[in-house]
Amino acid sequence: MLAFAKRNFRWLAGGFLLTAFSSFGQTYFVSASVAEWQEAFALSQGQFGRLYMLATLASACCLPFVGRLVDVMPTHRLVALVVISLAGAAVLAGFANSVVMLSVGIFLLRLLGQGMMTHIALTATGRWFSASRGRAVSLVVLGHQAGEATLPLSFASLSLAFGYRAGWLAAAGILSLVALPLATWAYRKPRAPGDEHADDPQPRFVGRNWTRAEVLGDPIFWVLLIGVLAPPFIGTTIFYHQDYLATLNGWAPQLFPSALIPMAITTVCMALVTGGVIDRIGAVRVLPLYLLPLACACFAMALSGPAWSLFVVMVLLGISYGVSSTLLGALWPEIYGVLNLGAIRSVIVSAMVLATAAGPGITGTLIDWGVDLPRQMNWLGGYCLVAVGAMSLASRHLRKREGEKA
């Protein structure tokens, strides 16, 4: 793995940077300012949850159109545009003086951070690597864990000392001074899969390259979404309600940022293991497994009380996220090819962003109606178990279809 990383450092580092700094648009980062925004604009849990949901829904609706730019625009230029715009969105959200301005800021954070930064990184990696795609994706997605382990805790410390606006200003500065020059340099030179540096010149994908319209007409695609949407919905729900859960269980304010560290470590370990497994047996065979730890995390959260229980939940989330982050980066090019990967992944990312929008909106409204989050987590755990069955059937069907093509 080390030799592979050295040979492909430029492209892997670029993807790592994008996934790491996508944190500024992820719920686990944005939610750190929810209490301040609610106080500033007199919003309840449900009201802010619906605002957040609508802003995220709007970003999801834009992603299928904006995401296609990955297929038609030089990657380094698109990276520069997205990073500069994300820095502006951070300033806008941090210094918003009205609900409308805050809504626009959150919309841009979600579209550019959670959506486009991750979309560019995984689309480019899936396109530029073939036989070693699993290892490449497993290294690129480690940026998510690096961001989770460092940025929320740093933001919380900065906010306690100087106020939350200073934290958002620092985010804009990091994007402009660090992410912009480094990521643009990394992506300026595309990588050709199967070149002299590849460990194995034989690609795993042997079928045709699907168009986006063909993918949308494939019934198995919609079955896969049953499982694909579970991690973003559930993870966003937990991270978004961190203040609510801390109050409900009597946890210290710094407990959630601290619990992200073991989750990040677990995710890193599982991502690296999963990358090697996928390169050996393929992403389709791994598909049925990744939701079982997520189901356990839901049931553990439903029973949570003492502080240590949160760390159990985070380790279980880390297992599921480590497998799913690598799996879902390698799955789509393996099934549908790489020619139209940007357009195809833009639909998938849009659906995942929709799931992250629905999580805070639905669960926040249910909390306002008197249905506490622990009870809701039991329901979500049951959904994960149903999705495990659906993924098993999908995996069997895809293996049969791949055999027919070969």
Q: What is the pLDDT of residue 200?
A: 45
Summarize pLDDT for 320-371 with one digit per residue, the tens.
988 988 888 888 888 888 788 888 888 888 888 788 778 877 888 888 888 8
**Residue 169: pLDDT over 50:** yes
Summarize pLDDT for 280-292 with one digit per residue, the tens.
888 888 888 889 9
**Residue 308: pLDDT over 80:** yes
Dist CA 291 CA 70 (whole Å): 29
pTM comes to 0.75
Nearest to 373 by CA among 211, 248, 203: 248
Average pLDDT over residues 219-246: 88
Dist CA 70 CA 72 (whole Å): 6
Query: Is the residue at 193 inside a domain?
Result: no
* CB neighbourhood size of 54 (10 A): 15
Query: Is the residue at 34 inside a domain?
Result: yes
Domain of residue 119, residue span: 7-187+205-405
Band of residue 406 on the pLDDT scale cut at 50, 70, 90: very low
Q: What is the CA radius of gyration of the chain?
A: 20
Q: What is the pLDDT of residue 240?
A: 80
Query: Is the residue at 197 inside a domain?
Result: no
Q: What is the pLDDT of residue 1?
A: 66
Quick check: 279 and 135 in contact, CB under 8 A? yes
Dist CA 80 CA 65 (whole Å): 18
More confident residue, 215 or 261: 215
Q: At 44, which CATH number?
A: 1.20.1250.20
For 288, what's the count of Cα atoms within 13 Å in the CB-facing half-sphere?
11
Query: Is the residue at 376 inside a domain?
Result: yes
Quick check: 118 and 15 in contact, CB under 8 A? no
Quick check: 336 and 210 in contact, CB under 8 A? yes
Band of residue 393 on the pLDDT scale cut at 50, 70, 90: very high
Instruction: Out of 33-42, 128-137, 170-179, 261-270, give the one with best mean pLDDT.
Output: 170-179
More confident residue, 56 or 205: 56
List the end-to-end C-alpha distance of the chain, in Å, as a whole number: 29
Summarize pLDDT for 185-210 with one digit per residue, the tens.
999 988 866 554 444 444 444 467 88
Dist CA 352 CA 232 (whole Å): 6
Q: What is the pLDDT of residue 201?
A: 42
Exposure letters 134-164 (e unless 16+ CB within 10 A, then b): bbbbbbbbbbbbbbbbbbbbebbebbeeeeb
Query: Is the residue at 199 inside a domain?
Result: no
Q: What is the pLDDT of residue 388?
A: 93
Q: What is the pLDDT of residue 207?
A: 62
Q: What is the pLDDT of residue 193?
A: 61
More confident residue, 383 or 307: 383
Query: Is the residue at 195 inside a domain?
Result: no
More confident residue, 128 or 347: 347
- The mean pLDDT value of the chain amounts to 86
* CB neighbourhood size of 265 (10 A): 16
Average pLDDT over residues 6-17: 89
Query: Is the residue at 194 inside a domain?
Result: no
More confident residue, 193 or 169: 169
Dist CA 352 CA 25 (whole Å): 14
Query: Is the residue at 332 inside a domain?
Result: yes
**Residue 44: pLDDT over 60:** yes
**Is residue 349 left, alpha or beta, with left meaning phi > 0 and alpha meaning psi from -120 to 50?**
alpha
Q: What is the pLDDT of residue 22?
A: 94
Beta carbons within 8 Å of 344's beta carbon, 6+ residues apart: 210, 212, 215, 332, 336
Q: What is the pLDDT of residue 376?
A: 93
* CB neighbourhood size of 349 (10 A): 24
Q: What is the pLDDT of residue 23?
A: 92
Quick check: 209 and 338 in contact, CB under 8 A? yes
**Residue 21: pLDDT over 90:** yes
- Look at the chain and report how many structural domains it folds into: 1
Summarize pLDDT for 73-111 with one digit per residue, the tens.
998 999 999 999 999 999 999 999 999 999 999 999 999
